[in-house]
């Protein structure tokens, strides 16, 4: 990454530009992390779980494929 000479363009998902697969994947990662931290830091675990639920609700409500950063999420 230190020698990266290509632009690092940022993309985001919104209700007008949904990305169900991205939001759901991050929701799954947060949910898994909440289990890891449950006995270590219960406050952080609860925060991760809340964010996971919020992201999943977003993915479910605003269904649509994320196509902005092809070729990463095109298939």
Angle of helix 20-37 relative to helix 42-61, nearest 10 degrees, comes to: 160
42 and 7 Cβ atoms separated by less than 8 Å: no
Q: For the chain, how big is the Rg over CA atoms in Å?
A: 15
Tens of pLDDT along 14-40? 898 888 988 999 999 999 999 999 999
Confirm whether pTM is higher than 0.85.
Answer: no
Give the chain's mean pLDDT.
86
Q: Dihedral sign for Cα 14, 18, 22, 25, please.
A: positive
CB atoms within 10 A of CB 27: 20
The DSSP 8-state label assigned to residue 49 in this structure reads H
Least confident of 27-31, 44-48, 60-64: 60-64
| Mean pLDDT value across residues 45-53 | 98
In the chain, where are the structural domains located?
20-61
Residues 6+ apart with CB under 8 A from 6: none
Predicted local confidence at residue 41, as pLDDT: 98
Report the share of the chain in percent with pLDDT over 90. 53
């Amino acid at each position: 990454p230190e020698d990266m000479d290509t632009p690092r363009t940022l993309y985001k998902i919104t209700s007008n530009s949904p990305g169900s697969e991205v939001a759901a994947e991050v929701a799954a990662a947060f949910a898994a992390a909440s289990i890891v931290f449950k006995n270590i830091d219960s406050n952080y675990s609860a925060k991760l779980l809340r964010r996971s639920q919020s992201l999943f609700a977003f993915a479910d409500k605003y269904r649509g494929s994320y196509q902005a950063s092809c070729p990463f999420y095109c298939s």
